[in-house]
């Protein structure tokens, strides 16, 4: 099952950290339905989303065609400090989904 050439855990150097987030919607043939205003049932506007999210998140939520969204430098700095956990190769998931090169990121420790 496991390819011996590819390790289960991959530790990234700071210089290898991502500089952009991948926007999966840019590659989707059928785009997801927009968020709906629960009061009107209509797609939410940037102004309405701004009541809940910060300006950057509103812009990201409304982008359907940009594949890569640059990560703000302030966030990259935090990643350098607080992202010590490795990427883990998901061999079992790859086998079940019949895909290649799937990794997962651990979000916490098991107690």
- Backbone phi, psi, residue 57, to 5°: -70, -35
Q: What is the pLDDT of residue 111?
A: 40
Q: What is the pLDDT of residue 53?
A: 92
- Which pLDDT tens digits describe the chain residue by residue (111 residues)? 445 577 777 777 888 888 898 888 889 999 889 899 999 999 999 999 999 899 988 988 888 889 999 998 998 888 888 766 777 777 777 777 777 666 555 555 554
80, β-bridge pairs: none
In angstroms, rounded to a whole number, what is the distance separating the alpha carbons of residues 42 and 71?
A: 30
Q: What is the pLDDT of residue 80?
A: 83
In angstroms, rounded to a whole number, what is the distance separating the alpha carbons of residues 39 and 27?
A: 31
């Amino acid at each position: 099952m496991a390819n011996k050439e590819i390790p289960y855990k991959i530790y990234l150097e700071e210089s290898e950290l991502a500089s952009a987030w991948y926007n999966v919607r840019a590659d989707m043939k059928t785009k997801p339905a927009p968020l709906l205003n629960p009061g009107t049932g209509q797609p939410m506007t940037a102004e309405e989303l701004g009541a809940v999210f910060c300006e950057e998140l509103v812009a990201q939520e409304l982008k359907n065609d940009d594949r890569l969204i640059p990560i703000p430098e302030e966030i990259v700095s935090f990643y350098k400090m607080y992202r010590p956990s490795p990427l883990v190769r998901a061999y079992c998931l790859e086998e079940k989904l019949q895909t290649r090169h799937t990794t997962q990121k651990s979000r916490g420790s098991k107690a």
